[in-house]
């Protein structure tokens, strides 16, 4: 009998993995709270919430029960021509927590499809209204919106998609005014970005369909932060110029940045919002693209071509809806936003320690996210720095996965003070001994 590792190697192609050089994956057998447990019984603290999905913690009793209860009633049913209570309950709850202009929920299964749907809705909205030439999308440089073709097309400068660049559609890109704590040039960068947007509008307003942004935090592009004021101004300009505003909150939704959504934090009302990852508390693949009644109403017609002809087999899977609904309830029952505020306070205190070292730069901290770049003394060392650090942290029981030279934490909200302190400790020791690693 082959070992599980060997079977994995023989059969499975892992995501974002160069199988020629990567070591064999770590086998995880179970998880609880903020911890993963390997088949050898070792604990790994999940400090990036398993690709930013786990919110209340792994294997939460109430979430487990919600899935079990639902599985006993209805596992799945197609969602065209049918509906079911878990989807209706979830949509009702979502509409309650989202900005009040967002009224219609379209379900799909992952972050990329949430974005794909948003793009298709935006393009068809203008077409349905008779503005066929309003078909150009705008995005921020360095953004990442997913791995499907539409999502890749609006992800310019993220560096992930060079192999496909000839097959993606063209968009307009504006500079991202990346900022950090103690950044003296923020206002200047924001002015440049906004004037770029204004110029684009001056030249091409008739063609601009929508702008898609990751509000406040570009995730996969390197945990890059921009200011609330910038997001607000950008949103206002889009609104004033008939450009649909799409917030991709796939990564930052459900409390990551301290409030339920980044749009709450920036007091913006996007026309369309994309949600996934934390939607089901990290349990099941699911996404939602939520839009205004105004947009939805422009798809109502006797003419079939005005219909949104889009759908996925597992749209609104009842198990996923049930766990997502329970997760939203837990935000109230467990006062989750208070837990996030506490994590933020811990991050702020640790930031003070970090700022006193000479080992880091570009310190960013928003809600439950803490990020900074490494100041490495050896220039040539940087090339595989992130990989080296990843394995160094893993070998000590911490799932921290740097992006380039950015180290970041985005823990599950159930993480304890003790677990955070252990994490800060290992980070401090690691970065202050960097040149010798």
Ligand X SMILES: Cc1ncc(COP(=O)(O)O)c(C=O)c1O
Catalytic annotation on 233? no
C-beta closer to ligand X: residue 128 or 327 = 327
Q: Is 248 in the site for ligand X (CB under 6 A)?
A: yes
CA distance 402 to 437: 15
C-beta closer to ligand X: residue 124 or 276 = 276
Positive/negative CA dihedral, 406, 412, 413, 414: negative
Tell me which of 193, 276, 280, 327 binds ligand X, using CB under 6 A: 276
Q: Is 368 in the site for ligand X (CB under 6 A)?
A: no
Q: Choose the binding region for ligand X from 6-14, 182-190, 245-253, 356-364 (rule: CB under 6 A).
A: 245-253
CA distance 147 to 202: 31
Tell me which of 112, 153, 315, 359 binds ligand X, using CB under 6 A: 112
C-beta closer to ligand X: residue 153 or 276 = 276
C-beta closer to ligand X: residue 119 or 420 = 119
C-beta closer to ligand X: residue 134 or 256 = 256
Tell me which of 219, 270, 278, 318 binds ligand X, using CB under 6 A: 219
Interface positions, 131-190, toward ligand X (CB under 6 A) = 144-147
CA distances from 292 to 50, 57, 94 (A): 31, 32, 13
Q: Which of 46, 248, 271, 373 is catalytic?
A: 248
**Least distance in Å: CB of 285 to ligand X?**
7
Q: Is 255 in the site for ligand X (CB under 6 A)?
A: no
Q: Is 247 in the site for ligand X (CB under 6 A)?
A: no
Q: Which of 10, 16, 166, 184 is catalytic?
A: 16
Q: Which residue has the tokens 């060392």?
A: 381
Residue 291, phi then psi, degrees to nearest 5:
-135, 180
Q: Choose the binding region for ligand X from 63-71, 107-115, 295-303, 354-362 (rule: CB under 6 A).
A: 107-115
Q: Which of 104, 277, 326, 346 is catalytic?
A: 277
Q: Is 222 in the site for ligand X (CB under 6 A)?
A: no
Helix orientation angle between 336-356 and 417-432, rounded to the nearest 10 degrees: 20
Q: Choose the binding region for ligand X from 98-106, 166-174, 212-220, 385-393 (rule: CB under 6 A).
A: 212-220
Tell me which of 214, 271, 344, 373 binds ligand X, using CB under 6 A: 214
**Least distance in Å: CB of 154 to ligand X?**
10
Whether residue 56 contacts residue 413, with contact meaning beta carbons closer than 8 Å, is answered with yes
CA distance 57 to 411: 9
> CB count, 10 Å around CB of 378?
11
Catalytic annotation on 144? yes
Q: Is 225 in the site for ligand X (CB under 6 A)?
A: no
Q: Is 278 in the site for ligand X (CB under 6 A)?
A: no
Q: Choose the binding region for ligand X from 26-34, 64-72, 108-116, 367-375 (rule: CB under 6 A).
A: 108-116
As annotated, the active-site residues are 16, 144, 248, 277
- Residues lying near ligand X in the complex (CB under 6 A): 110-112, 115, 144-147, 214, 219-220, 248, 250-251, 276
């Amino acid at each position: 009998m082959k070992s599980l590792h060997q079977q994995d190697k023989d059969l499975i192609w892992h995501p974002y993995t160069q199988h020629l050089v990567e070591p064999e994956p770590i086998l995880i057998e179970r998880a609880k709270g903020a911890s993963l447990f390997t088949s050898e019984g070792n604990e790994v603290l999940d400090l990036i919430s398993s690709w930013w999905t786990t919110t209340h913690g792994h294997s939460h009793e109430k979430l487990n029960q919600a899935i079990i209860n639902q599985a006993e009633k209805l596992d799945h049913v197609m969602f065209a021509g049918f509906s079911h209570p878990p989807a209706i309950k979830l949509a009702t709850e979502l509409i309650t927590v989202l900005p009040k202009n967002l009224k219609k929920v379209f379900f799909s299964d992952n972050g990329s499809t949430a974005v794909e749907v948003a793009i298709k809705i935006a393009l068809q909205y203008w077409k349905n209204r008779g503005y066929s030439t309003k078909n150009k999308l705008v995005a921020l440089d360095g953004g990442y919106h997913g791995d499907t073709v539409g999502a890749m097309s609006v992800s310019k400068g993220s560096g992930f998609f060079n192999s496909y660049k000839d097959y993606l559609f063209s968009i307009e890109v504006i500079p991202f005014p990346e900022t950090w704590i103690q950044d003296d040039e923020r206002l200047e960068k924001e002015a440049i970005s906004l004037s770029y947007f204004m110029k684009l509008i001056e030249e091409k307003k008739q063609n601009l369909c929508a702008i898609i942004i990751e509000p406040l935090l570009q995730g996969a592009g390197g945990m890059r932060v921009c200011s609330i004021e910038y997001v607000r101004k950008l949103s206002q300009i889009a609104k004033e110029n008939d450009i649909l505003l799409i917030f991709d909150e796939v990564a930052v939704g459900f409390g990551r940045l301290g409030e339920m959504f980044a749009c709450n934090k920036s007091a913006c009302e996007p026309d369309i919002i994309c949600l996934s990852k934390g939607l089901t508390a990290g349990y099941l693949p699911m996404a939602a693209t939520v839009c205004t009644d105004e947009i939805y109403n422009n798809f109502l017609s006797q003419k079939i071509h005005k219909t949104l002809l889009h759908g996925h087999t597992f749209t609104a899977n009842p198990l996923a809806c049930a766990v997502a609904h329970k997760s939203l309830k837990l935000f109230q029952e467990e006062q989750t936003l208070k837990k996030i505020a506490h994590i933020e306070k811990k991050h702020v205190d640790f930031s003070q320690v970090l700022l006193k070292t000479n080992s880091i730069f570009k310190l960013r901290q928003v809600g439950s996210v803490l990020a900074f770049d490494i100041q490495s003394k050896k220039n040539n060392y940087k090339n595989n720095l992130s990989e080296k650090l990843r394995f160094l942290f893993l070998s000590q029981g911490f799932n921290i996965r740097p992006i380039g030279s950015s180290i970041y934490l985005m823990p599950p909200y159930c993480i304890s003070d003790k677990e955070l302190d252990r994490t800060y400790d290992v980070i401090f020791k690691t970065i202050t001994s960097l040149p010798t690693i």
